[in-house]
């Protein structure tokens, strides 16, 4: 890499990955060795998804570049075209910035765009949260593609790190750091119950359930598991807090279903966007989390929060003992929720270890980035073993 401050471009696509990147961005901005540039794309700029770029601005993190690319669509064709639009916009941005390194996190389909542009422009790529498995979503293929395009890997777990090496990546490039989203528990001032209630505009009952449900993007019908979930929810007496789904094919129809459900039930509310601190505070106060979000796998364990993981979306992902898996059918969902809400189950989670880390990932990531070899060394990867 060039002498002097290293320019690192960081791409964020949505509220979800921004919450994971927050402390990494803070540490990069504060480190004298780096000139960090934040690039916001995708649903960050979309009013229907809460225009969450305003959350970044409220955190006093400068947004250096913005790329409008998310089509107003609810189809897989719209997703495919979004990748194309993002590629065009990011080619201009990264061609102008010419960073020493591009940093991406996780597995959103939009990330194929910056990774492809970096490949063409010979910009080394660092990737956070590779090596995971989520068999029910296209995220799994996206994550693996990013791994093979990347030159530095920040794995969340030991198993993920071994999987990356097993894919032919050189061990010196692979670093087990944990999931950076967990840094919030150690470093962020999370709101208490009263502040969470004020932010939500609702009273949190002691048995409030959080629902985080997304389209299952690997299936032709991305909402094939939704009917069973709503049938089960209709039979649950608890208060419900719905979180907006990702901007995937089927998300608009899913939002419409959630809105109609909440309109008929005073104890259920849907939120377009919850800032990451409020979301963490909500999870800390909730009785359980249910749905098919990676949050129920990665973050909930740090709070010893009972989680019901429904259907195929997160199949294959490492999980702690707070997660109860069930098929996307009404009766199994009801049985799983009943098991999650038993006092003995929650009591048995005290002192549990989260396989995704200890809340110190951001510091580890920045330390590795500060010690990377030069650009040519990064770009020339050794061939995988025969």
Asked if residue 117 is part of any domain, the answer here is yes
**Are 103 and 219 within one domain?**
no
**Are 195 and 175 within one domain?**
no
We report the CATH number of the domain holding residue 170 as 3.40.50.2000
Q: Which of 343, 371, 279, 283 is nearest to 22 (CA)?
A: 279
**Are 143 and 217 within one domain?**
no
- What's the token pair of residue 269? 């509310």
Asked if residue 63 is part of any domain, the answer here is yes
Which residues sit opposite 34 in a β-bridge? 6
Task: State the residue range of the domain holding 334.
Answer: 190-347
Asked if residue 352 is part of any domain, the answer here is no
Average pLDDT, the chain: 96
- What's the token pair of residue 103? 């940093």
**H/E segment holding residue 40:** strand 34-41
Average pLDDT over residues 153-167: 98
Per-residue pLDDT band for 386 (boundaries 50, 70, 90) equals confident
pLDDT in tens, 19-39: 999 999 999 999 999 999 999
Per-residue pLDDT band for 384 (boundaries 50, 70, 90) equals confident
Domain count, the chain: 2
**Are 34 and 110 within one domain?**
yes
Asked whether the predicted pLDDT for residue 4 surpasses 90, the reply is: no
Asked if residue 385 is part of any domain, the answer here is no
**Are 108 and 74 within one domain?**
yes
Asked whether the predicted pLDDT for residue 385 surpasses 60, the reply is: yes
**Are 215 and 323 within one domain?**
yes
Asked whether the predicted pLDDT for residue 1 surpasses 50, the reply is: no
Average pLDDT over residues 163-168: 97
**Are 160 and 211 within one domain?**
no
How confident is the model at residue 2, as a pLDDT? 45
**Are 130 and 202 within one domain?**
no
Q: Which of 105, 116, 25, 126 is nearest to 373 (CA)?
A: 126
Average pLDDT over residues 47-67: 95
């Amino acid at each position: 890499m060039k002498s002097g401050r290293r320019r690192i471009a960081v791409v964020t696509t949505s509220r979800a990955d921004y919450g994971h990147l927050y402390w990494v961005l803070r540490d990069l901005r504060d480190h004298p060795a780096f000139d960090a540039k934040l690039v916001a794309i995708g649903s960050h700029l979309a009013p229907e998804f809460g225009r969450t770029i305003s959350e970044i601005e409220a955190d006093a993190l400068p947004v250096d570049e913005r790329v409008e690319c998310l089509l107003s669509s609810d189809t897989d064709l719209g997703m495919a075209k979004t990748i194309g639009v993002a590629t065009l916009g990011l080619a201009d941005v990264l061609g102008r910035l010419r960073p020493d390194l591009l940093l991406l996190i996780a597995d959103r389909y939009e990330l194929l765009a910056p990774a492809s542009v970096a490949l063409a422009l010979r910009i080394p790529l660092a990737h956070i949260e590779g090596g995971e498995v989520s068999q029910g979503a296209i995220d799994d293929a996206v994550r693996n593609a990013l791994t093979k395009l990347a030159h530095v890997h920040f794995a969340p777990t030991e198993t993920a790190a071994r999987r990356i090496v097993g894919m032919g990546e050189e061990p010196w490039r692979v670093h087990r750091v944990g999931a950076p989203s967990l840094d919030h528990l150690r470093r962020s001032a999370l709101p208490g119950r009263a502040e969470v209630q004020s932010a939500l505009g609702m009273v949190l009952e002691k048995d409030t359930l959080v629902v985080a449900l997304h389209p299952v993007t690997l299936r032709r019908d991305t909402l094939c598991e939704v009917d069973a979930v709503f049938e089960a929810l209709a039979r649950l007496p608890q208060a419900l807090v719905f979180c907006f789904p990702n901007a995937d094919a089927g998300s608009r129809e899913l939002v419409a279903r959630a809105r109609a459900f909440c309109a008929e039930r005073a104890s259920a509310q849907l939120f377009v966007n919850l800032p990451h601190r409020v979301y963490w505070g909500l999870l800390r106060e909730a009785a359980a989390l249910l749905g098919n979000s990676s949050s129920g796998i990665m973050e909930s364990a740090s709070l010893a929060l009972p989680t019901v993981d429904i259907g195929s979306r997160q199949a294959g992902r490492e999980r702690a003992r707070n997660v109860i898996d069930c098929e996307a059918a009404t009766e199994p969902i009801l049985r799983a929720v009943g098991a999650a809400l038993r006092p003995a189950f929650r009591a048995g989670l005290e002192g549990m270890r989260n396989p995704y880390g200890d809340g110190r990932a951001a510091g580890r990531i920045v330390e590795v980035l500060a010690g990377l070899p030069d650009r040519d060394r990064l770009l020339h990867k050794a061939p995988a073993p025969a």
